[in-house]
A = this chain, B = another copy of it.
Amino acid sequence: MSLIVQKFGGSSVANAERVFNVADIVTSTYKEGNNVIVVVSAQGDTTDDLIEKAKEINPHASKREMDMLLATGEQISISLLAMAIEKLGYPVVSLTGWQAGMVTDSNYSNSRIRKINTERVMLELDKRNIVIVAGFQGINRYDDITTLGRGGSDTSAVALAAACHADLCEIYTDVDGVYTTDPRIVPDAKKLDEISYDEMLELASLGANVLHNRSVEMAKKYNVNLCVRSSLTRAKGTVVKEAVKVEGMLVRGVTKDNDVARISLCGIEDTPGKAFRIFSLLAKKNINVDIILQSIGRDNKKDISFTVAESHIDEALKIIEENKEIIGYETMSYTTKVSKVSIVGAGMVTNAGVAARMFEALYEAQINIHMIATSEIKVSVLIDEGYEAKAVKAIHDKFELA
């Protein structure tokens, strides 16, 4: 008997018909003799509707009360899914985050899971109940309800799989796996059968919205077998697991990210500690900096450019302006009219020609490169906004990923 964790997102349970589709997948897995833990998100637009209700009353409501409010979304979907499974005649029990023992820190609206007290879940599995757990939520040490922030339900599922030593964690979504690039841009993009945690991490952080980074990081840490599948087609999906050495395949996928803004600081005094100062100020406000480019010093001055998420640009500019004296720069400029295009693949590090081949593809497509960043398994370039689809297609063709 295997233990399988299955996670379904909000669109998978958006209405009664879809809830029964999920119930069918779950009970089929159960019927085959497996124990099943199901993690569910809030139905379709429920979370947005609740946020709307809150905003009408207080746009600056405390995060604690927002979490109290938003946690109802998953509580509704777990009970409805349990009712559907009852209707199909299977033993089932739904559990909220706290009932499932999901203990988090107190960082409301963006909590991290600290530990999972699995007694209740294991007890229900021992009774051969299908166990449905509310994703995205937990409680802190004060017994207050918390939520995990974006991608939280994926993280709930992987954490439960790790804590309960599940044999497999299936993430059901509305795409049927991980592709070499976005099929809406490049129609002949290919579905990958397998991908390593690290490659998936890069793809996720680069905007391929299949799995959230936190869940992949956790899967990697606890070596959870992940599988991304479609709840609609039920096709085989993509397995995410420990690095698979594939000699022939250097580049695994091409991805783009439009949520990027570039900030440039010119005329910074060329003394140690300047970069540290800038980025620690931003880090304190939880602003992630991605690509960083520092010019070679000249006349004892240097320039630093870096990218942040577009949604963080206002706050980032404010911090930098407020700290002009401390940082000590002459001028600041920024643009949001840029996009990031990246290639990802575990084999790249051992193959020097990969980056050059990517730049060649962009050159042939007459696309100008503003910034370049490389890591062991990825190469990212910053280009003008509007050219990203063309760039992705050119690179995808160049590496013959179709």
Contact = CB atoms under 8 A, between A and B. Distances in A.
Interface of A: 16, 19-20, 50, 53-54, 56-58, 60-62, 64-66, 68-69, 71-72, 75-76, 78-80, 82-84, 86-87, 93-94, 96, 99, 120, 143-145
Given A75-B75, A143-B120, A57 B69 contact: no
A68 B57 contact: no
Contact of A84 (B58, B82, B86, B96): B58
Chain A interface helix/strand/loop/mixed: helix
Given A16-B56, A56-B16, A61 B75 contact: no
A86 B65 contact: yes
Contacts of A94: 65, 68
In the assembly, how many copies of this chain are there? 2
Contacts of A83: 54, 57-58, 61-62, 65, 69
Nearest to A80: B57
A195 to B, nearest CB: 36
A389 to B, nearest CB: 40
A80 to B, nearest CB: 6
Given A75-B75, A120-B143, 15 more contacts: A20-B57, A53-B80, A58-B84, A58-B86, A61-B86, A62-B82, A62-B86, A65-B82, A65-B86, A68-B75, A68-B78, A68-B96, A69-B80, A72-B72, A99-B144
Given A65-B82, A69-B79, A75-B68, A57 B99 contact: no
A69 B69 CA distance: 14
Given A83-B58, A84-B58, A86-B58, A75 B76 contact: no
A69 B76 contact: yes
A71 B99 CA distance: 14
Contact of A53 (B20, B76, B78, B143): B76
The 4 lowest CB-CB distance pairs between A and B, nearest first, are A69-B79, A72-B72, A61-B83, A58-B83
A99 B54 contact: no
A16 B96 CA distance: 27
Contacts of A80: 53-54, 57, 69
A57 B19 contact: yes
A68 B82 contact: yes
Contacts of A78: 68
7 contacts: A54-B83, A58-B86, A60-B86, A64-B93, A65-B86, A68-B75, A71-B75
